[in-house]
Every structure is written in structure tokens, then in C-alpha cells.
Amino acid sequence: MGYVLLAGAIAAEVIATTAMKYSDGFSRPGPSLLTALGYVVAFALLARTLKTVSIGTAYAIWAGVGTAAVAALGLVLFGEGLSWTKAAGILLIVAGVVVLNLGGAH
């Protein structure tokens, strides 16, 4: 169940971060409210996750997957460019999460 909550926390954080881009510096009420609500949900779900998943594992997955997802959305939604270095960075983040999990994280 902890990893299901973690997936929800990641989704909420990605939605909140994307909404922040659309908030235009918090000058648009709808996206600004979605940003705040998304982060509240993300942290609440992350806190619940920590009851059953170790903090190092949960945070590594939350931060790594969230970062990679937001970077991918930047490419798709906002036309951000993809350089070799950016692609390598995303792959290294994902690889780091995998290595942490294979290294005996509980």
C-alpha cells in the first residue's frame, strides 16, 4: 500500500509543479490554487507513505520520478529542448533511484 500512496504523492507533486508553470507567477487564481492543493496532497500522501516505506527509499523515488516526469512534461507541454546532457541527467536520476532500491532499501 505504501508504494500506491507514493505513486499518488508523485502524481500530485507533478500536477502541482505543472500548475505552477501555468500560474504565471501566482497571478492566475485557478492554477495557483491547484498548485497549493497539489502540494498539500503530495506531502500528505508522502507522510502516509513513510509509515511503511523507509524515508531514503520513499524520498529518492518521490524526488527522482517527480523530477524526470516534470522534465518530460517540460518537453511535451512547454516545448523545452532536449539536449544530450539533459537526457543523460534524466537517465542518471532514474538510474540512481533504481540503484538505491537494488541496494537493499526497505
**Segment 61-74, tens digit of pLDDT:** 999 999 999 999 99
State the CB neighbour count (10 A cutoff) for residue 10.
Answer: 22
More confident residue, 100 or 104: 100
Distance of CA 37 to the CA centre of its chain: 15
Please determine, for residue 105, whether its predicted confidence score (pLDDT) is greater than 60: no
State the CB neighbour count (10 A cutoff) for residue 38.
Answer: 21
Is residue 61 within 8 A of residue 97, CB to CB? The reply is yes
Calculate the dihedral angle through the C-alpha atoms of 59, 76, 26, 37, rounding to the nearest 10 degrees: -50
Q: Whole-structure pTM over 0.85, yes or no?
A: yes
Give the containing element (helix H, strand E) for 70.
helix 55-78
User: Residue 106: its pLDDT value, please?
Assistant: 53
User: Residue 94: its pLDDT value, please?
Assistant: 86
Q: How confident is the model at residue 104 (pLDDT cuts 50, 70, 90)?
A: low
DSSP state of 53: S
